[in-house]
Chains A and B, each alone.
Chain A
Amino acid sequence: DAGVIQSPRHEVTEMGQEVTLRCKPISGHNSLFWYRQTMMRGLELLIYFNNNVPIDDSGMPEDRFSAKMPNASFSTLKIQPSEPRDSAVYFCASSLILAGGEQYFGPGTRLTVT
């Protein structure tokens, strides 16, 4: 299996622009998680889905952030408008709800907002 795939790997944009991050989970997994990692705040859970349905979005920092999962093999995280403080590495992870329940992480998207 190719593992969790994220694109782009790097994104540089100007403040005020819309940013869309993409994630393809491991085939057959039914839970998907979006995280943000910064030096100051560490690893933060933003939102997670089960069977394509958002379960908990309490970690989404502001209304500028939105996430969708239109099908089992694709999810997006959108920031509109972006701000410099959104600069971080964004990770997507997927999991299968069974005994064990471990999450598998993608390589991340490094976002820089200037």
Chain B
Amino acid sequence: GEDVEQSLFLSVREGDSSVINCTYTDSSSTYLYWYKQEPGAGLQLLTYIFSNMDMKQDQRLTVLLNKKDKHLSLRIADTQTGDSAIYFCAERGAGGYNKLIFGAGTRLAVHP
């Protein structure tokens, strides 16, 4: 079946790079997504990558996709305190209708 797994917690120092990892099971996934959730808010779409791409960069964010290992990562360069949030990885599920399968979320804590 479809499943997405993430580590639950990551702590980094301000100014360092953060790397959040995700594994998924559905090899037919066409799109994979990263969402950010700040306290008391909804999920905000950060970026997504099409399955025929290996990498996508958007300012401080870099997404890497390893289809062979079904591994997705999000790198945040020069991590700031404002980046502290929960980050969710998601894959587009089978069957159309844009159903997404979400991981449990990785809580990123940025400390001085």
Contacts from A to B (Cβ < 8 Å): 4, 31, 33, 42-43, 45, 48, 50, 55-56, 91, 93, 95-97, 100-108
Partner of A103, one of B96, B98, B104: B98
- A107 x B31 contact (CB < 8 A): no
Contacts from B to A (Cβ < 8 Å): 31, 33, 35, 41-45, 48, 88, 92, 96-100, 102, 104-105
Known: A48-B97, A55-B97. A100 touches B105 (CB 8 A): no
Known: A42-B104, A43-B105. A101 touches B41 (CB 8 A): no
In the bound complex, CA of A93 to CA of B99 (Å): 11
- Majority SS at the chain B contact face: strand
- A45 x B88 contact (CB < 8 A): no
Known: A42-B105, A43-B88. A97 touches B98 (CB 8 A): yes
Find chain B residues with CB under 8 A from A4 CB: 42
- Majority SS at the chain A contact face: strand
* Pairs across A and B, CB under 8 Å, 5 listed: A95-B98, A100-B48, A105-B42, A105-B44, A108-B41
- A50 x B97 contact (CB < 8 A): yes
A59 CB to closest chain B CB (Å) equals 10
Closest B residue to A104 by CB, please name it.
B45
In the bound complex, CA of A107 to CA of B41 (Å): 5
Known: A43-B88, A45-B99, A55-B97. A102 touches B48 (CB 8 A): yes
Known: A100-B31, A102-B48. A43 touches B102 (CB 8 A): yes
